[in-house]
């Protein structure tokens, strides 16, 4: 029987976990797809539920001993239904990409056409980028945003009528505006297409009542459970009852084996947190913080893609400031501010050294930062970009950031290794 603990048995791994905790606590996390889970979510993730195999679904398992597992998974499903107004929920997908792939396999045949958002205009790799395996199986047609940064619904209708897709897919990873799901549903109904939304980035804002909710309207909706929803890394599929059986079969046994029940328990905890009244305040603050950053950067003559933000993120073309997104990301890493390089619409550069940076407010908001803090952070980002080749100035910002974050402790009650 094992009796050792991590620090004693594997000090190397313990060391880097400790260093990563220190990095998270001492820096400013602004990657829009990242957030900080609660200690309760961490407890569920590290629980003994990881020991149990439970292939199948509640009441229909291939293994014995699943009576407690069934309760946990059913509770996660019921909470998700309440949170989003869903008819049917599958909480077993391991992440967002597997959730999307499972849906494709459930509702499409090889060669079928999907109309989805172009990656360069804010979409996601799994929405049909040529580098993905799914692009070899299905025929993806990609729509773009207008020069002013809006989704052109008239153009979307024209493309739908021209290409006759089986599925119209909306959702994004770098687009900063809301979506008119009712318009998309009307277009899909005109041609008899299935409606699919990927709300991975904005699920928390939807759950908090801050953005339009496609779940009651659309045939199928996928999401991750981290990002703005502030849960563990994982995926989820919500759909109409008419698609429930084929969606469930596509997830298991079609695409995955045994579900990760410790992760599903953590999802259930996060859903309970999101059902609490204070989560609405949290979601509203995420948007307020993002709008302050938008104003601050506009006042400093930054080129903001899509004209601004309606959600949690900003995509900024950094090249007018004399550097690339890769160079800005590196400089800000030194300064203790973490964001990511990102392509802009009709990107003229490579994906590994693009023109833009993508930043957001969920993790900062989780730590309790509000409008005044956003103004300070925007000034540091601007200063770091102006001095991106000056190590001394970047280290000065780093020192200020380290001192600043002491006012917003991340896990004050979590024991160290």
Task: Examine residue 13 and state whether it is found in any structural domain, yes or no.
Answer: no
Q: What is the CATH number of the domain that holds 69?
A: 3.40.640.10
**pLDDT value at position 125?**
75
* Same domain assignment for residues 269 and 291: no
Structural domain of 123: 42-275
**Alpha-carbon distances of 242 from 181, 186, 238, 276, rounded to whole Å:** 20, 19, 12, 30
**pLDDT value at position 87?**
98
Task: Examine residue 415 and state whether it is found in any structural domain, yes or no.
Answer: no
* Same domain assignment for residues 109 and 227: yes
Which candidate in 132, 195, 224, 324 is catalytic? 224
Task: Examine residue 301 and state whether it is found in any structural domain, yes or no.
Answer: yes
* Same domain assignment for residues 97 and 201: yes
* Same domain assignment for residues 87 and 200: yes
Task: Examine residue 269 and state whether it is found in any structural domain, yes or no.
Answer: yes
Spell out the SS3 assignment of the chain.
CCCCCHHHHCHHHHHHHHHHHHHHHHCEECCCCCCCCCHHHHHHHCCHHHHCCCCEECCEECCCCCHHHHHHHHHHHHHHHHHHCCCEEECCCCCHHHHHHHHHHHHCCCCCEEEEECHHHCCCHHHCCCCCCHHHHCEEEEECECCCCCECHHHHHHHHHHHCCCEEEEECCCCCCCCCHHHHHHHHHHHCCEEEEECCCCHHHHHCCCCCCCCCCCCEEEEECCHHHCCCCCEEEEECHHHHHHHHHHHCCCCCCCCCHHHHHHHHHHHHHHHCHHHHHHHHHHHHHHHHHHHHHHHCCCEEHHHCCCCCEEEEECHHHCCCHHHHHHHHHHCCEECEEECCCCCCCCCCCCCEEEEECHHHHHCCCCHHHHHHHHHHHHHHHHCCCCHHHHHHHHHHHHHHHCCCCCCCCCCCC
4 pLDDT band, cuts 50/70/90, is confident
Which candidate in 144, 233, 367, 402 is catalytic? 233
56 pLDDT band, cuts 50/70/90, is very high
In the predicted model, is pLDDT for residue 149 greater than 80? no
Task: Examine residue 414 and state whether it is found in any structural domain, yes or no.
Answer: no
* Same domain assignment for residues 180 and 254: yes
Q: What is the CATH number of the domain that holds 391?
A: 3.90.1150.10
Which candidate in 25, 29, 198, 261 is catalytic? 198
* Same domain assignment for residues 224 and 347: no
**pLDDT value at position 394?**
98
**pLDDT value at position 321?**
97
Task: Examine residue 29 and state whether it is found in any structural domain, yes or no.
Answer: no
* Same domain assignment for residues 349 and 231: no
* Same domain assignment for residues 256 and 134: yes
**pLDDT value at position 128?**
76
**pLDDT value at position 406?**
97
* Same domain assignment for residues 267 and 396: no
* Domain end (from 275, 308, 336): 275
Q: Average pLDDT over the chain, rounded to whole?
A: 95
Catalytic residue at 398?
A: no
* Same domain assignment for residues 306 and 166: no
Catalytic residue at 227?
A: yes
In the predicted model, is pLDDT for residue 344 greater than 80? yes
* Same domain assignment for residues 245 and 343: no
Total number of domains constituting the chain: 2
In the predicted model, is pLDDT for residue 72 greater than 90? yes
Tens of pLDDT, residues 307-333: 999 999 999 999 999 999 999 999 999
* Domain end (from 218, 253, 275): 275
Task: Examine residue 130 and state whether it is found in any structural domain, yes or no.
Answer: yes
414 pLDDT band, cuts 50/70/90, is confident
Which candidate in 18, 34, 52, 53 is catalytic? 53
Tens of pLDDT, residues 241-268: 999 999 999 999 999 999 999 999 999 9
Catalytic residue at 233?
A: yes
Tens of pLDDT, residues 121-139: 677 777 877 888 888 999 9
Which candidate in 177, 227, 321, 358 is catalytic? 227
369 pLDDT band, cuts 50/70/90, is very high
CB 36 within 8 A of CB 230: yes
* Same domain assignment for residues 120 and 264: yes
């Amino acid at each position: 029987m094992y009796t050792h603990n991590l620090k004693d048995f594997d000090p190397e791994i313990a060391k880097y976990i400790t260093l990563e905790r220190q990095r998270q606590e001492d820096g400013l996390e602004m990657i829009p797809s990242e957030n900080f889970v609660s200690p309760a979510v961490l407890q569920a993730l590290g629980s003994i539920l990881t020991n149990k195999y439970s292939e199948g679904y509640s009441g229909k398992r291939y293994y014995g001993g699943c009576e407690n597992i069934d309760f946990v998974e059913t509770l996660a499903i019921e909470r998700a239904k309440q949170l989003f107004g869903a008819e049917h929920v599958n909480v077993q997908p391991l992440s967002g990409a597997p959730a999307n792939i499972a849906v494709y396999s459930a509702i499409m045949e090889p060669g079928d056409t999907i109309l989805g958002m172009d990656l360069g205009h804010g979409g996601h790799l799994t929405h049909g980028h040529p580098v993905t395996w799914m692009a070899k199986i299905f025929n993806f047609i990609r729509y773009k945003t207008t020069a002013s940064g809006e989704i052109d619904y008239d153009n979307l209708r024209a493309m739908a009528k021209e290409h006759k897709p089986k599925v119209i897919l909306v959702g994004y990873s770098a687009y900063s505006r809301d979506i008119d799901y009712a318009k998309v549903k009307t277009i899909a109904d005109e041609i008899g297409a299935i409606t699919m939304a990927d709300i991975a980035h904005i699920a928390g804002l939807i759950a908090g009542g801050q953005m339009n909710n496609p779940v009651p309207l659309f045939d199928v909706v996928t999401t991750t459970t981290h990002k703005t929803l502030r849960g563990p890394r994982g995926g989820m599929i919500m759909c109409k009852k008419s698609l429930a059986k084929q969606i469930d079969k596509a997830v298991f046994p079609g695409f995955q084996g045994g579900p990760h029940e410790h992760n599903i328990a953590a999802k259930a905890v996060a859903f309970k947190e999101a059902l609490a009244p204070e989560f609405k305040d949290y979601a509203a603050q995420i948007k307020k913080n993002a709008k302050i950053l938008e104003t601050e950067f506009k006042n400093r003559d930054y080129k903001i893609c899509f004209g601004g933000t309606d959600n949690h993120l900003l995509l900024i073309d950094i090249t007018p400031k004399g550097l690339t997104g890769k160079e800005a990301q590196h400089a800000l890493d030194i300064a203790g501010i973490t964001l990511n390089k990102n392509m802009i619409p009709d990107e003229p550069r490579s994906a590994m050294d693009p023109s833009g940076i993508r930043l957001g407010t969920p993790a900062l908001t989780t730590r309790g930062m509000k409008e005044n803090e956003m103004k300070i952070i925007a000034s540091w980002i601007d200063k770091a970009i102006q001095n991106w080749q000056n190590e001394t100035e970047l280290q000065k910002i780093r020192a200020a950031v380290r001192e600043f974050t002491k006012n917003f402790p991340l896990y004050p009650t979590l024991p160290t290794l």
